[in-house]
Structure 1
Amino acid sequence: MVDRNDQTDVSEATKAQEALLHDVDPSLTDANDVAKALNVDPATGLSSDEAKRRLEKFGPNELASAPPVPKWKKFLAQFEDPLVYLLLAATVISTIAWFVERMNAAPGSEGGEPLPFDSIVIVLILIVNAVLGYIQEARAEQAVAALAQMTAPQTSVLRDGQVVRVNTSEVVPGDIVVLGEGDTVSADGRLLTAASLRIAEASLTGESVPVGKKPETLESAKALGDRANMVFNGTSVTQGTGRAVVTGTGMNTQVGKIADMLSQTEDEATPLQKELAHVSKILGIAVCIIAALVIVALFITEGFTGIEDVIDSLLLAVSLAVAAVPEGLAAIMTVVLALGVQRMAKHHAIVKKLSSVETLGSASVICSDKTGTLTRNEMTVERVVTPSGEVSITGTGYAPVGQMVGVDGSDVSEAVRAEVLSTLVAGTLANDGDLRENNGKWEIVGDPTEVSLIVAARKTKADKATERFTRVAEVPFTSERKRMSIIAKDNTEGGNLTVFAKGAPDVLLSFCSRIAVGNQVRPLTDGDRQDILADVERLSGEAYRTLGEAYRPLETASLAAVPGIRANAAGEVSDIAEQSDVIENDLIWTGMVGIIDPPRTEVRDSVAEARRAGIRTVMITGDHPLTAARIASDLGIIAKDGKALTGDQLDALTTDEEFDKATSEVSVYARVAPEHKLKIVSSLQRQGNIAAMTGDGVNDAPAVKTADIGVAMGITGTEVTKESAKMILADDNFSTIVAAVREGRGIFDNIRKFLRYLLSSNVGEVFTVFGGVMLAGVLGITQPESTGVTLPLLATQLLWINLLTDAAPALAMGVDPQTEDVMNRKPRKLTDHVIDRDMWIDIAFIGIIMAAVTLIGMDMHLAGGLFTDRSVDALGHEAQLTEARTMGFTILVFAQLFNAIASRSSRQSAFVGLFSNKWLWGAIALSVVLQLLVIYVPFLNGPFGTTPLSPLAWVECICLAAFVLIASEIYKAIMRAIDKARGKELSH
């Protein structure tokens, strides 16, 4: 995006762009004159150097955005939280308490602490928390920005005479953009050429029907929706091809003018973030209620004798609130999701939004196209069937190395050879693909199926016969027509025209009335049709994709002279695609090819892994049913005798109930149209499934967008589909989807791990404060000759615990390695709570144990306690309370560190893979060092209310804290036994 702070530069660039066209409306100017005004040759495009110069001059082809939030505002935003407001209130209360104490001090006494250490420490910790939150959010933004760069849209442009792909942001005025079906128009431009070009402009004009585009100059100024010779930024090509010279980029486009009026929208919170916010709110309300009840109880039982008692009670309430909610939870969540998304990107799965990670782990159905996703997308013509025989074409892949041989390896007769060459000539001419050699490697341009015909023609030298033809018109392939036709001029025989067509054999055959046998052409009989259709069934049963080829000499050099063709007064024909019924009839059948796209070897294992994970794989393809069933059975999607359901059979299902029953039982769909994909996805969703849907073509976009997890192909996918998708496969591989689901489940598991850890630790703090106040008399947590509340732990100590144990260990748990059983569980439902009933029980249990061992440790160092009758030493009650608080403080820190080890699984023993997460152990070591500093560095003793501990005290601390891990292990063993018993009951 362009910063609006740079509006001056944008304005200057806009004026420069307008100056290039001399303020002339491009739609009213001849296309060549527009190109001349922009100083570009339509045949070669801009040079790379000139494009760089214009990019520097005009700036990137991006819309202006709101100015970025200054860093200082982002930092202050860290304080915009109700919990922070509570802490600031605690600071004020603590400062007042210190001031009152100083004022009421007896003359000549020290008057308490020289500085309000509690207030100072609270402020310092708030600042440290804000710094950590700021750094974490900055890292998350960087991760998302890196992903945005990976998914940056690209545009085909003509540079240095070659069609190349560049980032859309690098398109400049004067560029020649090359448009094809599924492309998103990246800038405003004047059409130079167009072949059956139709563009959906609803996003700009509101016109729901795609608009036909033609390069002819308009005679008068038209409204935006009627400028048929212009293309506009943000619209999408639904049919045909074309080229346009860019007349405006960035804010100097029609959509740019609209964008200037739009305000920046805020990112919506993810469902997971909303649930966590709800949990925090419930915890906060619960703690406030507990605090209020405690204060009322203390007032009734002990009464308040002075302002100090009131202040102490308020500090107690704030301490409970501080203990309840993990301050860094939101930031930790964002960072963990961002890191997970980055890991997915390294494995070729580019997730466009962090919120999609939540959905990935819940996928229960993966609907996948066949070609290129389940297979290698290296289409190879292996068979050619003609009226006189059948041959094999040797060689695989796109290298044109191979030859024509009989199916049994024998020599091929001249008659069959002639028919094969004729068939491959028709398939090569009715073709938009291209094959290029780049540094010794063969690269394809266009559809792999079309390129396979070109490769076969080069293997058999049939390509030599295509050199004498020049294409003059085209009726493009669409998923509805299932065929393509071109009209070519024969440059060696008086320039006569010939129609060449290819398409699905059963479809193309219906437009044929003749058949070429040897050197003769005769009428096509019913027997011929039955034989051809039988060959289609046979080849399809052998997993071949079949394409039929046909031709028809027009016996004229003028397209306008063809009987039935509509032409204008000048004899020009500009709408041939709309007259396909005239030229696509009385065709001569030459033969058909059998093309195979071998399955990816790794996909079978991925399908099996998905099945173990409770995820069903569904194949949806436009191929023949037998081909689809064969590939699906080879990959383990269906059994060997499994069948495919066709689009026609789906259309016969008239009710939702019938459709849902079919989709619940059938996993392979063949000969389907784009609308069928949408209906299949919707049906699966009605049944409660979380559906992933792959797509590449523009017609797949509605189904991809409707699916819970829309997946676009990164290599073959159109820009429209990529924009509609939530995830992009950089390698177009089905296995990458399964790997992404595995990663998504691992991320979600890790989120539950650190939630269990954080919440149980904070609940332990709440129980410690609550129990220490309510049981103060029993435990000896009192100060003789004083009234009011004696807090078991200071607010600064609780803040330090949260700072120490929340950030580093929780982040380390967020990158915990996946467990072995991550893909052996059924998918979770999106309606399932992240923190379920069992997890709440676990949290409460650990919290109670944590509070109990902390209070026991304090009691052991206090006079008049439950577990010891220790006498008051020479240092007095105050020193003894400080030592007891240091014990409780340290026990609670170490208990939470033991809890971090225990929380890595709700069922599995902590000792399984104990040292597999080096980051967690690093975080624990850091926390231990920092805790030692607070205890043994003298100038920190005052602010944190600590005192050095003896070696024996350390033994007590470690043993008591370790009981959290021991109790957790016992609890897990019991739960594993219960789960096993439940399993036995279910099996019976």
Structure 2
Amino acid sequence: MRVFAREQIPAFSQLCPLWSCGMSERIVEEVEPVPASAAGPEPVQPQSPQELKEVRAQQQLLTDVDPSLTDADKVAQLLQVDPNTGLSSAEAKRRLEKFGPNELASAPPVPKWKKFLQQFQDPLVYLLLAATVISLIAWFIERGHGGDGEALPFDAIVIVLILIVNAVLGYVQEAKAEQAVSALSEMTAPQTNVLRDGRIQCINTTDVVPGDIVVLAEGDTVSADGRLFAAASLRIAEASLTGESVPVSKKPETLASAKALGDRSNMIFNGTSVTQGTGRAIITGTGMNTQVGKIADLLQSTEDEATPLQKEMNHVSKILGIAVCIIAAVVLLALALMEGFRSVDDVIESLLLAVSLAVAAVPEGLATILTVVLALGVQRMAEHHAIVKKLHSVETLGSASVICSDKTGTLTKNEMTVERVVTASGEVAITGTGYAPEGDMIGTDGSAVPEDVRHEVISTLGAGYLANDGELREGDKPGSWQVIGDPTEVSLVVAARKVHADRQYHRFQRVAEIPFTSERKRMSIIAQDSTDAGNLTVFAKGAPDVLLAFCNRIAVNGGAVRPLTEGDRQRILKTVEKLSNEAYRTLGEAYRPLETASLATVPGIRTNAAGQPTDIAEQADVIEHDLIWNGMVGIIDPPRVEVRDAVAEAHRAGVRTVMITGDHPLTAARIASDLGIIKPDEQALTGEELDQLSADGNTQAFDKATSQVSVYARVAPEHKLKIVESLQRQGNIVAMTGDGVNDAPAVKSADIGVAMGITGTEVTKESAKMILADDNFSTIVAAVREGRNIFDNIRKFLRYLLSSNVGEVFTVFGGVMLAGFLGISQPGAQGVTVPLLATQLLWINLLTDAAPALAMGVDPSTEDVMNRKPRKLTDRVIDGQMWGDIIYIGIIMALVTLIGMDMHLDGGLFTDRSVEAMGHAAQMTEARTMGFTILVFAQLFNALCSRSHYQSAFRGLFANKWLWGAIALSIVLQLFVIYIPGLNLAFGTTPLPATAWLECIGLAAIVLVASEIRKIFLRAMRK
């Protein structure tokens, strides 16, 4: 199972000890570098008898001992690891070499020689090989009849050489594309948090070894099988392994008897995902020694399915192939009826004609060029922080019509700062910005804070400091700070340190936790007071309107407690509304003394047979009641400066921006208004209101709301999924951002699932098609722009390739059917005379398919790329307009080519000068050389024309330097094939005089003139 993890992003490093923080998510701003010993420890020395004994003990555990029935301490002893410090880097390297990387066995890589031979596995190649055989037969027959034919079968030799050259080009291009995809895979390589050298480090999942201590948190994907020895409200989704749809509660207690896989509650398994809580486990099996490894045969990779674009290209190729077969049949039938086949040579030449038509019709390198252009585009996106996991997702990106985005960290800076604290006695401002714990409390008017208010503020921030999974550490550089955990929680830690609340509440040690979930919208911890006979206290924080419902008392006058009245509730809710209107995110804080030192004696607590409390997380109803309201904090997260421009650009492009957040509706509406997502007078729709719209199961009202509303607040994960599905029902192509594990269903269901690279969990990244390396909304819009440009460029080179090849088909067809009128065949001549040889057509395709088409694949974006409506996925890549371009240019190409040939033959329609009496064969060679060269130059002019359906070729004429380089290379190669004796003999060409070059360029330029005239007409029609 492959997951996309914390790639080259400042994501996270060390995690706080499980027993002191129990984090639900871990996000830090700077990665603590792994020590040199971890990156490259000293060479492994020969194993001593003691080391061999240890390895045998480890292997015994892996094969003979059931870890679920073995005490965790015994497992650690057998694996020779200290759970408090983990393995040393040197020992981990030894085990990695001993047990191998932590990955499933995969099919051996395809040898290079086999990949090269695969380039010949194409029906067109088979057709050309058949042409080679026919050409050899014709040569043998001609030699056998004592004719004065060529000494060598040049046609056959050239066809084989060109096939080889084309195969080499295809092999090289595909290799580059594979390297590009491989580079992206390395950027998104899965990683795992392990305890090594006494510190928690983030390592590649493939480097996990038996005996490693893994640290688990919500959203992580389990990287190997292991035995739990510590857990806090840990739940793991094991549907990928056991089929159990409900996450399984995990506990470290040793099982009394052997259980089925789904009932081994003290074990973790490779490929499963953490949905809640935290834990630590000793790895007992890696790679093929995991449960997933045992069923690896069921996980064999399947062949990649062709993308929609590739399917359409295959469809186009089939259409062209059928059309050519029909044309060839018509031509052969007409020739048979008019002239008849008098000899074997006539039959062979007729078959070669059919082959020439097929060669002319289908661009040989189309599939390879398409793959390379997509790969190059994906690489460019990665450079701009948008990591696309699948090449074909680029097609969807350019079609996005709605972008659903979370607020925090994507539309805003994710630099949460507590600026307001409101208690029963007053409101204060907290000074200082960012994560540096430097500041103090002052009155909102700048005055000094009364002592009773100061006491209440410290009590409020103290509760938030304890009911917290975040951590603030000083960085390596002076003045730098390392943030671990959710930025909102870290902002409470920073605020508590500013007013020294952390010092007063440091005496409390956490003993149990009821974790935050998006459904509960609150979190509680139970802490023991070391100075008050060890008594326990509940500290809680959460959405004020939610937490207030669990409070029946309020702290006032610097520490006194009285009943919470209805007036108090209304005043608190009005304050919430006031702060929300000022774009603050609000969090309420509360507490309750339990007046006992043991959880087992708390009234209502359920215990097991040993008298120990069962999972506290499942007993929230017993703990979270009769709370004492402390106060609330107002937290600000300013919008990103660049996002407003990105939203405006998206709107110009017809892409609607939708904000979906768990914040208060007024906060969401204020931020959305500031960013230009909605107008100032528009309101947010809440999750509760969404439930009412869909209460009767009728989706019409729901769909009507989602078609009009662009801001959603107080939503749960299931609401996100419903919003995405509703927008899709309306025909939208939806991009959906997400970071938490609960966002994964909506992200996966969206047409373009976008995971956050910094704050995103492993599960969300696995579900997404794209990962934002900087968590910035602007990057999504930039990716849409790049996706549109890539799609535009694909259309450009398709217009170019197909019109050029259609021109070749019309040239061959017209040259054969009108041979007598054009002077291509002389009166009384027998057999078929083709205007251009198959080798010449192959050479043209080799020149004009590869380099210019690839150059057009990196063409700069046009000015209007973000000024038009999104493309629908149902729209054809090659639509009616493009087919009009293709056929129009193809006809012009054929006409100028045949005219140029006619001008160098006796008896033609357009001959404007006498042709020297040098024999028809010599004249035909010169005429073919003219037609050959005119067609090459016509296609090079066509490369300039094909960059736009409407825009003149002279606008941005020199914007693409690669295209001009490809044109120059094609001209030089054409000169080689005409003037180098060996090549002109092989390709049936002859050196041309200078005047002939003027004719070639002049006639070929008619393609450019004709295209410009058509574009002028189209622009006038559009206006």
Please confirm whether the aligned pair reaches a TM-score higher than 0.5, indicating the same fold: yes
Match for residue 786 of structure 2 among 720, 740, 743 = 743
2:514 paired with 1:514: no
Match for residue 83 of structure 2 among 42, 65, 74 = 42
Deviation at 1:344, TM superposition (A): 0.2
CA distance in 2 between partners of 1:548 and 1:957 (Å)? 81
CA distance in 2 between partners of 1:516 and 1:385 (Å)? 12
Match for residue 377 of structure 1 among 393, 404, 414 = 414
2:392 paired with 1:355: yes
Equivalent residue for 1:445?
484
CA distance in 1 between partners of 2:116 and 2:474 (Å)? 54
Deviation at 1:166, TM superposition (A): 1.6
Equivalent residue for 1:661?
704
Larger relative contact order (C-alpha < 8 A, sep ≥ 6)? 2
Query: Which stretch of structure 1 is more off in the superposition, 688-697 or 255-264?
Result: 255-264
Deviation at 1:941, TM superposition (A): 1.4
Equivalent residue for 1:97?
138
Equivalent residue for 2:623?
583
Match for residue 87 of structure 1 among 109, 122, 128 = 128
Classify 1:170/1:526 alpha carbon distance in 2 versus 1 (closer, same or farther; 3 Å).
Answer: same
Deviation at 1:784, TM superposition (A): 5.4
Give the match's secondary structure for 1:510: helix
Asked if structure 2 preserves the Cα contact closer than 8 Å seen for 1:620 and 1:668, the reply is yes
2:500 paired with 1:457: no
Equivalent residue for 1:530?
570
Asked if structure 1 preserves the Cα contact closer than 8 Å seen for 2:250 and 2:265, the reply is yes
Asked if structure 1 preserves the Cα contact closer than 8 Å seen for 2:57 and 2:78, the reply is no
Equivalent residue for 1:597?
637
CA distance in 1 between partners of 2:494 and 2:826 (Å)? 92
Q: What residue ranges of structure 2 are gaps of 5+ in the alignment? A: 3-53
Equivalent residue for 1:824?
867
Query: Which stretch of structure 1 is more off in the superposition, 909-918 or 688-697?
Result: 909-918
Deviation at 1:263, TM superposition (A): 3.1
Deviation at 1:264, TM superposition (A): 3.0
2:909 paired with 1:866: yes
Question: What are the within-5 Å matches in structure 2 for residues 512-661 of structure 1?
Answer: 512-517=551-556, 518-654=558-694, 655-661=698-704
Deviations 1:547-574, CA, capped at 9 Å, x for gaps: 0000111111111111111123433113
- Fraction of identical pairs, as percent: 81
Classify 1:474/1:841 alpha carbon distance in 2 versus 1 (closer, same or farther; 3 Å).
Answer: same
Counterpart of 1:925, as a letter, is A
2:100 paired with 1:59: yes
Deviations 1:262-308, CA, capped at 9 Å, x for gaps: 43310010000000000000000000000000000011111111111
Counterpart of 1:884, as a letter, is A
Deviation at 1:820, TM superposition (A): 1.4
Deviations 1:570-607, CA, capped at 9 Å, x for gaps: 33113111111111111110100000111000000000
Deviation at 1:21, TM superposition (A): 5.0
CA distance in 1 between partners of 2:170 and 2:282 (Å)? 48
Deviations 1:516-569, CA, capped at 9 Å, x for gaps: 102211111111111111111110111101000001111111111111111234
2:1013 paired with 1:970: yes
Query: Which stretch of structure 1 is more off in the superposition, 897-906 or 683-692?
Result: 897-906
CA distance in 2 between partners of 1:466 and 1:886 (Å)? 92
Give the match's secondary structure for 1:771: helix
Counterpart of 1:645, as a letter, is L
2:883 paired with 1:840: yes
Counterpart of 1:369, as a letter, is D
Match for residue 904 of structure 1 among 947, 950, 953 = 947
2:995 paired with 1:955: no
Asked if structure 2 preserves the Cα contact closer than 8 Å seen for 1:189 and 1:246, the reply is yes
Deviations 1:23-64, CA, capped at 9 Å, x for gaps: 211111111111121111111212223222322222221111
Deviation at 1:641, TM superposition (A): 1.1
Counterpart of 1:97, as a letter, is A
Deviations 1:859-905, CA, capped at 9 Å, x for gaps: 00000010116545242111111000000000000110111111111
Query: Which stretch of structure 1 is more off in the superposition, 674-683 or 197-206?
Result: 197-206
Question: What are the within-5 Å matches in structure 2 for residues 705-720 of structure 1?
Answer: 705-720=748-763
Deviation at 1:462, TM superposition (A): 0.8
Query: Which stretch of structure 1 is more off in the superposition, 60-69 or 692-701?
Result: 60-69
Asked if structure 2 preserves the Cα contact closer than 8 Å seen for 1:471 and 1:488, the reply is yes
Query: Which stretch of structure 1 is more off in the superposition, 715-724 or 779-788?
Result: 779-788
Equivalent residue for 1:285?
322
Counterpart of 2:100, as a letter, is G
CA distance in 2 between partners of 1:180 and 1:263 (Å)? 29
Question: What are the within-5 Å matches in structure 2 for residues 249-268 of structure 1?
Answer: 249-268=286-305
Deviations 1:108-163, CA, capped at 9 Å, x for gaps: xxx21001100000000001111111111111111111111111122111122222
CA distance in 2 between partners of 1:634 and 1:163 (Å)? 41
Deviation at 1:103, TM superposition (A): 1.3
Question: What are the within-5 Å matches in structure 2 for residues 783-862 of structure 1?
Answer: 783=826, 786-862=829-905
CA distance in 2 between partners of 1:18 and 1:727 (Å)? 40
CA distance in 1 between partners of 2:933 and 2:321 (Å)? 25
CA distance in 1 between partners of 2:227 and 2:188 (Å)? 27
Classify 1:869/1:636 alpha carbon distance in 2 versus 1 (closer, same or farther; 3 Å).
Answer: closer
Give the match's secondary structure for 1:123: helix
CA distance in 2 between partners of 1:55 and 1:743 (Å)? 41
**Where does structure 1 differ by over 6 angstroms across 4 or more consecutive aligned residues?**
13-16
Deviation at 1:261, TM superposition (A): 4.3
Match for residue 258 of structure 2 among 209, 217, 221 = 221
Counterpart of 1:958, as a letter, is I
Asked if structure 2 preserves the Cα contact closer than 8 Å seen for 1:599 and 1:635, the reply is yes
CA distance in 1 between partners of 2:792 and 2:874 (Å)? 16
Asked if structure 2 preserves the Cα contact closer than 8 Å seen for 1:40 and 1:174, the reply is yes
Deviations 1:195-249, CA, capped at 9 Å, x for gaps: 1111111111111111111000011111111110000000111111111111111
Question: TM-score, normalization: structure 2?
Answer: 0.93
Deviation at 1:22, TM superposition (A): 7.0
Deviation at 1:17, TM superposition (A): 5.3
Asked if structure 1 preserves the Cα contact closer than 8 Å seen for 2:606 and 2:614, the reply is no
Counterpart of 2:102, as a letter, is N
Question: What are the within-5 Å matches in structure 2 for residues 923-938 of structure 1?
Answer: 923-938=966-981
Give the match's secondary structure for 1:492: coil
Asked if structure 2 preserves the Cα contact closer than 8 Å seen for 1:350 and 1:730, the reply is yes
Give the match's secondary structure for 2:587: strand
Equivalent residue for 1:152?
189
Give the match's secondary structure for 1:165: strand
CA distance in 1 between partners of 2:140 and 2:102 (Å)? 61
Question: TM-score, normalization: structure 1?
Answer: 0.97
CA distance in 1 between partners of 2:833 and 2:872 (Å)? 47
Q: How many residues align?
A: 966
CA distance in 2 between partners of 1:850 and 1:242 (Å)? 70
CA distance in 2 between partners of 1:442 and 1:162 (Å)? 18
CA distance in 1 between partners of 2:191 and 2:641 (Å)? 30
CA distance in 2 between partners of 1:519 and 1:498 (Å)? 15
Deviation at 1:401, TM superposition (A): 1.3
Asked if structure 2 preserves the Cα contact closer than 8 Å seen for 1:362 and 1:690, the reply is yes
Asked if structure 2 preserves the Cα contact closer than 8 Å seen for 1:197 and 1:213, the reply is yes
2:282 paired with 1:245: yes
Classify 1:731/1:305 alpha carbon distance in 2 versus 1 (closer, same or farther; 3 Å).
Answer: same
Equivalent residue for 1:211?
248
Deviations 1:591-627, CA, capped at 9 Å, x for gaps: 0000011100000000000000000000000000000
Asked if structure 1 preserves the Cα contact closer than 8 Å seen for 2:458 and 2:496, the reply is yes
Asked if structure 2 preserves the Cα contact closer than 8 Å seen for 1:323 and 1:799, the reply is yes
Asked if structure 2 preserves the Cα contact closer than 8 Å seen for 1:653 and 1:659, the reply is yes
Deviation at 1:20, TM superposition (A): 5.1
Deviation at 1:913, TM superposition (A): 0.9
Classify 1:17/1:905 alpha carbon distance in 2 versus 1 (closer, same or farther; 3 Å).
Answer: farther
Equivalent residue for 1:480?
519
Asked if structure 2 preserves the Cα contact closer than 8 Å seen for 1:864 and 1:870, the reply is no
CA distance in 1 between partners of 2:918 and 2:937 (Å)? 27
Deviations 1:787-827, CA, capped at 9 Å, x for gaps: 01111000000000000110000000000111111100100
